[in-house]
């Protein structure tokens, strides 16, 4: 706590380089990382719901998410193939 107060009061913050725009909070990289984190939290909550509330075994939850991943990949592949043909 004391080090932080000294950092502010001695104005040491003026000598620090600003964060580049690539690593800024609103950059594409950080927005993508945020979206991946939100997706992982959604998957975690979904897994908890399936196993705790619905009583599905853990392997069943993995199977549900595995099949959902395969299905989503298949749909995205079909969509990209249909957009690529003329």
Q: What single-letter DSSP state applies at residue 19? A: P
Whole-model pTM: value is 0.60
Least Cα distance to 25 among 33, 17, 15, 14 occurs for 33
* Residue 54 confidence (pLDDT): 94
Which pLDDT score, from 0 to 100, does residue 70 have?
97
Distances (CA, A) of 19 to 7, 26, 70: 18, 12, 39
pLDDT reading at 25 higher than 90: no
d(C-alpha 29, C-alpha 52), whole Å: 34
Q: Are 56 and 64 in contact (CB under 8 A)?
A: yes
């Amino acid at each position: 706590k004391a080090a932080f107060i000294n950092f502010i009061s001695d104005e040491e913050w003026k000598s620090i380089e600003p964060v580049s725009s690539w690593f800024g909070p609103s950059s594409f990289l950080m927005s993508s990382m945020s979206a991946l984190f939100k997706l992982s939290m959604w998957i975690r909550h979904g897994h908890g719901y399936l196993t705790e509330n619905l009583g599905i075994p853990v392997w069943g939850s993995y199977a549900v998410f595995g099949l959902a991943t395969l299905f989503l990949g298949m749909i995205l592949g079909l969509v990209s193939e249909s957009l690529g043909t003329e």
